[in-house]
Structure 1
Amino acid sequence: MAYREVASINLARLLREGGTARASGVVLEAFSVGQERFPLEGEASWRVAVSSVGGEEYWLSGEVEGVALMECRRCLKPTPTRVHAHFQHLLRYQPGLEELSFHEEGEDEYYAFGEPDLDLLPFLTEAFVTELPYTVLCEEGCKGLCPVCGADRNRVDCGHEVEAHHPLLGLKNLLPEL
């Protein structure tokens, strides 16, 4: 198996003869979804296998793993977060189709492709990004940012006291005599 930085696999031999095609490689720097970037610490490695299952149908299975840099939910510090994702998809070869497209027919879901070079980046990105946790903490006892001045309370003591917040605290101003 060739280890490479290009996230694609050539399926020409598989389309002619059947069997299984394998590839592996790395994704550098980040995964992107639209305008949003998911930076990596180092690189993310991937492995895939595409097997003929009969007719024009193929089974894609693989995994991607790496370390994403996510912002701590309290202090916004870049926090390394290990991600290991597996994925499986049904593929259908439709000669002449210019780009990868998703189809849903009743209970069947599949991706249609028309070129022997299959771009794996959409599959790798979807698996990696959906496996990311919603939020992370840089450390369990993270004190976060000061709501008054914005200082990182893990690094400095800015001296600001944070008021205790209670949802009914505003009612005391409505009825001062109580």
Structure 2
Amino acid sequence: MDYTTATSINLARLLKEGGTARAQGVVQEAFVVGEERFPLQGEASWRVAISSVGGNEYWLSGEVEGVVLMECRRCLRPTPTRIHAHFQHLLHYEPGLEEVVFHEEGEEEFYAFGLPDLDLLPFLTEAFVTEMPYTVLCEEGCKGLCPVCGADRNVEDCGHEPEAFHPFLGLKDLLPEL
């Protein structure tokens, strides 16, 4: 397949003639949302199709898939996690609009754009990051980090014993010893 690292599509032909425009490519290194960076293992591939649905309305549909490196919730080790996300959005063409703007009118949601070059990265990022699980484990039996010294219990035995968990353990200091 012929993939490109550009994450935009030129819709000039679609805006004049109608029909469908297709594009595919890859995202390299990471997805970024504000200050948060979600590193990739390899590349994330994507495919989109944009179809004219009449007037100045277009239907964007696509998918993005790749492997993101998330921290294990117990030991913080980078953990490869496969993500495959699908997305669909209604687009309105408004000539002269400089950037993509989200609109919500009643129950209708759409994105307005005004330039023939449509940046797809925000759509790809939203779909990919939304599909990511909240937490992951590097392996089912992950022992986590030692709460005393911070050692990775999967790698070394630091000698500290895990405290037995009991829901009333916090009360032991409040009551005199019996």
Please give the TM-score of this superposition, normalised by the length of structure 1. Answer: 0.97
In the alignment, structure 1 residue 122 sits paired with structure 2 residue 122: yes
Contact persistence 1:28–1:40 (CA under 8 A): yes
Contact persistence 1:2–1:23 (CA under 8 A): no
Partner of 2:144: 144
- CA 1:167 to 1:153, structure 2 compared with 1: closer, same or farther past 3 Å? same
Q: Indicate the percent of aligned positions where both proteins have the same amino acid.
A: 83
- Paired amino acid for 2:95: P
Counterpart CA distance in 2 for 1:171 and 1:46 is 54
In the alignment, structure 1 residue 6 sits paired with structure 2 residue 6: yes
Counterpart CA distance in 2 for 1:121 and 1:177 is 62
Aligned residues: 178
Partner of 1:166: 166
Counterpart CA distance in 1 for 2:82 and 2:23 is 22
- Paired amino acid for 1:36: E
Please identify runs of 4+ aligned residues in structure 1 that moved more than 4 A: none
| 1:16-95 mapped onto 2 (5 Å cutoff) | 16-95=16-95
User: Which SS does the other structure have where 1:143 is aligned?
Assistant: coil
Partner of 1:132: 132
- Paired amino acid for 1:5: T
- Provide Cα deviations, 1:75-120, integer angstroms capped at 9, x if missing partner: 0000000000000000000000000000001110000000000000
Counterpart CA distance in 2 for 1:176 and 1:82 is 52
CA RMSD, aligned part only?
1.1
